[in-house]
Amino acid sequence: MLKGTGLVLGGLAMPSVLESCLSSSSSTPSGSIKIGYVSPITGATSGFGEPDSYVIGLARKALSSGLSIGGTSYSVEIISRDSQSTPSVSAQVANDLILGQKVDLMLTTSTPETVNGVSAACEAAGVPCISTVVPWQAWYLGLGGQIGQSTTFKYIWHYCFGVEQFFNAYTHLWPQVPTNKKVGVMWPNDADGNAIRQALGPALKAAGYTIVDPGPYEDGTNDYSAQIARFIREDCQIFNTFPIPPDFATFWNQAKQQGYTSHVKIGQIAKTGLFPSQVTSLGAIGNGLASGVYWAPTWPYKSTLTGVTCKQLGDGYEAASGKQWNQQLGASLSLFDVAAAVLKASGDPKNKPKVADTMKTLSVDTIVGHLDWTKPPTFAGAPIPNVQTTPIIGGQWKQRVSKWPIDFVICENSSDPNVPIAGTLQPYQG
């Protein structure tokens, strides 16, 4: 259903000096567990990896005394690698962790460009892998899963929001601002864009929105004049996009220069504009952009591994780093909540097939909420194995609402009513 993701599962890559080699030892003592962790620390999607060193530090501290499983005490080593935001490097570092470091469990997060390559390598090698922060359609379909057919995935498991969560957020957020319901979309020719085009587009049409789609564009495009002219011509008062961050910055600056932002009443972005640094870098044209969060410090949950609440996680990161909270904090920490739970539940953490099989029955509380793989979601009337869905909560970047120059205000909670609403969507002033 999707075009190829360009995954490269080839030879090993030596870790570069930019990789986060935070392990304490390269050897594996008896009674030890190795956990691999792959995320984008550098490259186009590096914003996702910004808080990972802090999160890994929390996980290391929580696991410093090891895990007692099946009557055996295991030390735990976490080995982190940088995907450099590209599928080929993701697959290479995954293979290094699998074959060179011989990890027992793999964790990976943040966009198909990182996650899908790691997942594919783990499935091929028979290493259990848990992943998040890729819309589940882009993960499941991008790796060859088919809706309504039994999957052949044995070792890879995923939890994340999907198109249905974006649809819920948008259809509860957008009516807060009067518009002509014409949506200009920029959906790229990549795993995310193709999944969104095939599933979200028809759903929004059915909900009464007119979709103006100039067609897929390639990542790295630097001239959007044709698309902007069409959006102006057709008076698209809602704009929606799922680009890599550099592409949106290029597009939105051109949209301002060519007069489109003055037509826009709702500028709805995803995959970019998730983090304060990305929005701040846009300057004045970042204020008022609508986006979504998959975690925030106001969420009412806590990490079962570390015991920290959402507020404590956000406050702790800000105090330690001097930077504003970042929604990837919760997602990254939740991976370690799931990892500790499945390793314990397996009874035998060195038995890779058993650990992978235990995921089928895993039910665990995490800092992003409760996850229960015994209850797979359904899509188009069919169950989606190996997947759990998580919320996307809609809101808006606004100035002068906190101690930070710009902050995210939650404006709807259709995917999780436990999350408190803090404001209403206001028209974009471009």
Of 3.40.50.2300, 3.30.565.10, 3.40.50.150, 3.40.640.10, which CATH number belongs to 164-293+392-410?
A: 3.40.50.2300
pLDDT at 14: 32
Mean pLDDT of the chain: 92
Topology adopted by domain 32-162+297-388: Rossmann fold (3.40.50)
Cβ atoms of 344 and 362 within 8 Å: the answer is no
Confidence of residue 155 (pLDDT cuts 50, 70, 90): very high
* HSE (side-chain half, CA atoms, 13 Å) at 384: 25
Task: Show the tokens assigned to 38.
Answer: 């792959």
Phi and psi dihedrals of 225, rounded to 5?
-60, -40
pLDDT at 152: 76
Amino acid, single-letter form, for residue 4: G
Cβ atoms of 142 and 191 within 8 Å: the answer is yes
pLDDT at 113 over 80: yes
H or E element: which one contains 233? helix 225-233
Phi and psi dihedrals of 126, rounded to 5?
75, 40
Quick: pLDDT tens for 289-306.
999 999 999 999 999 999
Quick: pLDDT tens for 342-353.
999 999 999 999
Confidence of residue 254 (pLDDT cuts 50, 70, 90): very high
Amino acid, single-letter form, for residue 173: L
Amino acid, single-letter form, for residue 113: E
Weakest mean pLDDT among 96-100, 172-176, 192-196, 353-357? 192-196
- How large a percentage of the chain has pLDDT more than 70? 93
pLDDT at 21 over 60: no
Task: Show the tokens assigned to 209.
Answer: 């929105």
- Nearest to residue 429, comparing CAs of 262, 183, 239, 250? 262
Query: What's the CA gap between 315 and 325, in Å, rounded?
Result: 7
Domain positions in the chain are 32-162+297-388, 164-293+392-410
Which has the higher per-residue pLDDT, 341 or 26? Answer: 341
32-162+297-388 and 164-293+392-410, same CATH topology: yes
Greatest distance between any 2 Cα atoms in the chain: 69
